[in-house]
Amino acid sequence: MAQNDVVLQSKLEYLSLNKGQRILYKIGHFFKNTPKAIGRFFSRIPSKTRKKGAEVVSVFRTISDAARFGDIFTRISFFVMGFGLFFRHQMIRGFLYFLYEIIFIVFMIFVGGSALTHLASFGQVGSMVYTIVDDATMMDIETTVLFDNSFTILLYSIITILLILVLAFLWYNQLRDSIKLQRMSYIGKTASDKATLKNVFDKSYSKTLLFIPTVGLVLFTIIPLIIVVLIAFTDYNSNHLTPARLIDWIGLYNFEMIFASTGTSNSSVLLEVFGQVLLWTLVWAFFATFSNYFLGMIVAMIINTKGIKLKKLWRTVLITTIAVPQFISLMLMSNMFSLQGPINGLLQSFGWITESIPWFTDEWLARVMIIVINTWVGIPYTMLICTGLLMNIPDDLYESAKIDGASPVKTYMKITLPYMLFVTTPYLISQFVGNINNFNVIYLLTNGGPSFTYSGSNIPYQVVGTNVGKTDLLITWIYKMTKDSVNKDYGMAAVLGIIIFVVVAFFSLIFYNHSNSVKNEEDFQ
C-alpha cells in the first residue's frame, strides 16, 4: 500500500503542474530514470544469458540423444535429411527435406563452394589483355579476357552463407522430429501426411501465409542490406570496377575518411560536408513531415466544418492534384522559379524587382523553397487521410467542449490533435523516414545546389567529384557518388547508406515504441 500511495502522490503532483512544468518534469524524469534503466538492463543479462544457454544446451542434448538412442532411420537422418520422417509416414516432409539437401549440394558444387573460397581475396585475376596477330591483316589485335568477378563472388558468398544457416536449421528440425516420431512409435502413435497438411493449413496457417513474404524480404531486403554493409569495408570504386579489376578488403578506411576530425585537410573537409548534409537531412525531414501533416489536417478540418458549401468539389479538386505525377509538378516548379523563369520575369515586368531572385541558388532561400513546394505537393495526400479520421471523432465531444466554453484553439488542442496523433503516429513515423530518403523533391528542384565552396587544395574527390551541394540529402549524395560522378566510390556510398539505416532505425524504434499508438493501443477501442 505504501508503494501505491507514493505512485498516487506522484501522479497528483504531476497533474497539478502546468504545461511548461510538465515538460520539464518529463525531461528530468527521463534523465533521473536513465541510470536505473541501464542498471536494469545489465542486471537482466545474467538471467537472459542463462536462458539462452539452456536453449543452446537443449539443442546439443537433442542431437546427442538422436546419436545415442536413435534407431537406424534416425541415425541415417544425420546424413540424409528427411530419411527418418520419410519412413515414418511423413513422406511429404521427408521428401522436401531431402530435396533441399540435394539442391544445396548441387549449388555448393557448382557455385557456392568456389565463391566462399574466394571471398577473402575476392578472386585471383580480374582481367588480362592478350595480343594476338590476325592472319588475314597481319595486325596485332588486343583481346581482353575476364576472369573472376568480385561482386559476383560477394553475392554468391552471402547467398551460400544464408543457405548454410537454413540447412543447419532444417537439419536440426528434421533430426528432432525424427527422434520424436521414434519415441511416439513406442506407444503406438504414428503421424501421417494428412496430419502434416492439416497442420500447414490450420495450426500453422499464419506461417504458411508468411512464407512467400519472408522469402521476398530475404531476397530484396536482407541480402542487399548485407551487401551494402560489406561493401563499406572494401575499395569498390572507379579504380576497382568489376569484372575488369578485383576489389579488396580495406577494413575501416572508408569510415575513417568520414569521421576523422583531425589529420589531413581531406578528412576535415569531408567530415564538415558530411555533418552539414546530415544536419540538413534531419531538418528537412522534420519540416517536410510536420508542415504537410498540420497544414493538411487544417485543410481537412476547414472542408469538414459545418456550413462550408461545395465540400465534395473542394475535396475533388485537391484529390485530382494527386493524379498529376509528382515528377511533372516538381519539374514545372523548378523551371518556373529558375533565374530566367516566368516568376522572375513576371516580377520584373511589374517593376517589383530589378534583378532575378535566386530562388534555388541561394542557400537559405533554396531550402525554404524546397520545404514550401514540398508542402504544396504533399498537402492533398495528408488531407485525404485526415478527412476520414476526422469524421470518426464523435460530435458529442465537440458539443460538450462548446457548452463548456472551450475556444476553437483549445478544442483542437484537447480533442482533435490528441485523437489524430494517437491514430496517425505510425503514419508520421513512416513519413519522416520517407522524407529522409526523399530523392525526387531535392534532385528535381535543385539537384542538390548551391554547391559548397572550398578553400585550399587536395579536396577529397568524394566532395568535389560528386558536386555535393548545400541542399543535398544523404540519399542524393549517394546517388551522385555512384551515378553522376566520374570517379564513383561505392565503398563510401555504402558507408552513407549504413548511416541512413542507423538514423532511420533509431528514430523509428524510439518514437514508435514510445508512442501511445503502441503503448496504449487498447484505449483506442
Q: What letter represents residue 489's amino acid?
A: D
Q: What is the CATH number of the domain that holds 370?
A: 1.10.3720.10
Supply the DSSP string of 433-453, one letter for each residue: HHHHT-HHHHHHHTTTPSBP-
pLDDT higher than 70, residue 2? no
Backbone angles phi, psi at 437, to 5 degrees: -110, 30
In a domain, 453, yes or no: yes
**If you average pLDDT over residues 69-88, what whole number do you get?**
93
Q: How far, rounded to the nearest angstrom, does the alpha carbon of residue 66 sit from its chain's CA centroid?
A: 42
C-alpha cell at 74: 534416425
> How does residue 84 score in pLDDT terms, banded at 50, 70 and 90?
very high
**What pLDDT is attached to residue 524?**
47
Whether residues 454 and 370 fall in one domain: yes
Supply the DSSP string of 281-309, one letter for each residue: HHHHHHHHHHHHHHHHHHHHHHHHSTT-S
Residue 100, CB half-sphere, CA atoms under 13 Å: how many?
A: 18
pLDDT higher than 80, residue 20? no
Whether residues 43 and 140 fall in one domain: no
**What pLDDT is attached to residue 43?**
84
Whether residues 232 and 294 fall in one domain: no
pLDDT higher than 60, residue 5? no
Whether residues 228 and 339 fall in one domain: no
Condensed to tens digits (0 to 9), the pLDDT of residues 382-394 reads 888 888 888 888 8
**What pLDDT is attached to residue 499?**
92
Strand (E) positions, 122-241? 127-133, 140-146
Write down which residue in 179, 212, 240 finishes a domain: 240
Whether residues 420 and 504 fall in one domain: yes
pLDDT higher than 60, residue 261? no
Whether residues 272 and 145 fall in one domain: no
In a domain, 246, yes or no: no
In a domain, 69, yes or no: no
**What pLDDT is attached to residue 109?**
96
Whether residues 104 and 216 fall in one domain: yes
Backbone angles phi, psi at 450, to 5 degrees: -75, 155
C-alpha cell at 32: 533521473
**What pLDDT is attached to residue 500?**
92
**If you average pLDDT over residues 188-209, what whole number do you get?**
81
Q: Is the pLDDT higher at 78 or at 135?
A: 78
In a domain, 318, yes or no: yes
**What pLDDT is attached to residue 262?**
45
Measured between alpha carbons, how far is 65 from 176 in angstroms, rounded to an integer?
9
**If you average pLDDT over residues 202-221, what whole number do you get?**
86
Whether residues 266 and 235 fall in one domain: no
**What pLDDT is attached to residue 140?**
59
pLDDT higher than 80, residue 1? no
In a domain, 426, yes or no: yes
- Domain range for 399 is 253-520
Whether residues 258 and 228 fall in one domain: no
In a domain, 384, yes or no: yes
In a domain, 325, yes or no: yes
Instruction: Say how many domains are in the chain.
Output: 3
pLDDT higher than 50, residue 147? yes
Whether residues 327 and 411 fall in one domain: yes
**What pLDDT is attached to residue 266?**
52
Whether residues 44 and 149 fall in one domain: no
